[in-house]
Amino acid sequence: MKTLKRIFNNVSPKIEKISKPQKDFLLELFEVVFSLYGKGNFLNFARYSKFNECTFRRNFLKYINWIQLNYAIICLYNSNLEIQIAAVDCSFIPKSGKKTFGIDKFWSGASNKALKGLEISLLCLINVKTRIAWALDVCQTPPNLSSKESTNNGYTRIDFYLEQFLDCLPVLKDITYLVADGFYAKQKVFDTVLESNKHLITKLRTDANLRFLYKSEHKKGKKSNRQKYDGKVMFDDLSKWIFEGADYKYNHLHIYYQTLNSPRFKLNLKVVLIFNTRTNKYILLCSTDIYQPARQILEYYRLTLL
């Protein structure tokens, strides 16, 4: 417990608006959590602590900036300041019952279908060099929210996930890229990330509507609007794509890339096509940073799958 106290004393000065009694309570709470046996409720906390049950109840109602606390701990173990990226994803938690808050139907990746239970949204930082992920913030998804983009300004799950991102934004000053899976490839997500001076790396549908940019010289003296695009992208023809080479780890994966325009998102994107020569199938990754190397886009996305 001396190590825990030393760590907490190092990071607590970096937390805003935290009082001395709150620091004492948090230190006691962390010690109790590691020694607790049984259910994690206030009554059981009091059994293993010098504080009574009412003290736990009162302090759990007070505001504590957990994001700053988590970030301070992450920085403590990443003093070398290696390149880091942020990643966001959701996890399904099986749960039955009628009175538990948050019960709803959420997508379960393991079952590949929507199931009744709970969902948490995790935003983490990933050290690109060590390939270690650090949890920065975890939020429980509220029930009865639509998973689709709303056209009538209704509050959806995407809005909730973006609120979590914006809450974490003050500690993401040194982060350039946010990585998310294909569910987050939505107009509101692109707009919010770009307005925050960050870049989004995500996955596109295999039938995504994309256009080649017109790169030839325009005829001199022509007064009409200059041509911006050079036709729709057809994925069975890779002649206009730039071949980067085979993946360093999996030789059967061939990497192609091109800067394309997305009419849906109204953006130019750096699109990376990974073609599997064994199955003749492909996936599409994209980045809002059109100057980002194709292999780096693939590597950063792959880190979120580990």
Other residues' Cβ atoms within 10 Å of the Cβ of residue 154: 11
CB 241 within 8 A of CB 259: no
Q: Which contacts (CB < 8 Å, 24+ apart) does range 225-232 have?
A: 228/261, 229/261
Half-sphere exposure of 71 (CA within 13 A, CB side): 21
pTM confidence score? 0.89
Distance CA 102, CA 226 (A): 53
Select from 235, 285, 231, 239 the least CA-distant residue to 261.
231
What is the reported pLDDT for 110? 86
According to the model, what pLDDT value does residue 220 have?
62
Structure tokens at 134: 């650090």
Q: In the beta sheet, which residues pair with residue 115? A: 106
CATH number of 179-216+227-306: 3.90.350.10
Q: Is 189 exposed, middle or buried (0-12, 13-18, 19+ CB in 10 A)?
A: buried
Sign of CA dihedral 262, 266, 267, 268: positive
Q: Is 173 left (phi over 0), alpha (psi -120 to 50) or beta?
A: alpha
Query: Which tokens is 195 given?
Result: 């307005």
**Tokens representing 21?**
């009694």
Residue whose C-alpha is closest to residue 11's, from 55, 59, 68: 68
Rounded distance, CA 274 to CA 243, Å? 10
Contact 137, 122 (CB under 8 A): yes
Q: Which pLDDT tens digits describe the chain residue by residue (306 residues)?
A: 567 777 777 888 778 778 888 888 988 898 898 888 888 889 999 999 999 999 999 999 988 889 998 998 888 877 655 678 999 999 999 988 778 889 999 999 889 999 999 999 999 999 998 888 999 999 999 999 988 876 567 889 999 999 999 999 999 988 999 999 999 999 999 999 999 999 999 999 999 999 999 877 656 655 556 778 888 999 999 999 999 999 998 999 999 999 999 999 999 999 999 999 999 999 999 999 999 999 999 999 999 886
Distance CA 201, CA 170 (A): 20
Q: What is the pLDDT of residue 79?
A: 64
Q: How far apart are the C-alpha atoms of 299 and 306, rounded to whole Å?
A: 11
Rounded to 10°, the helix 20-35/53-60 angle is 120
CB 185 within 8 A of CB 287: no
What six digits make up the tokens of 251?
A: 């030789």
Comma-separated ranges of CATH 3.90.350.10 domains in the chain: 179-216+227-306
> What's the one-letter identity of residue 303?
L
Specify the pLDDT at position 219. Answer: 62
Distance of CA 42 to the CA centre of its chain: 32
Cα–Cα distance for residue pair 53/238, rounded to 1 Å: 66
CB atoms within 10 A of CB 171: 21
Contacts of 285 (CB under 8 A, 6+ apart): 201, 202, 203, 204, 271, 272, 274, 297, 298, 301
As a whole number of angstroms, the distance between CA 102 and CA 140 comes to 7
For 165-203, how does the pLDDT look when each residue is reduced to its tens digit (9 = 90+)? 999 999 998 899 999 999 999 999 999 999 999 999 999
Kindly report, residue by residue over 243-291, the tens digit of the pLDDT.
999 999 899 999 999 999 999 999 999 999 999 999 999 999 999 999 9
Residue given tokens 């959701």 in the structure block: 90
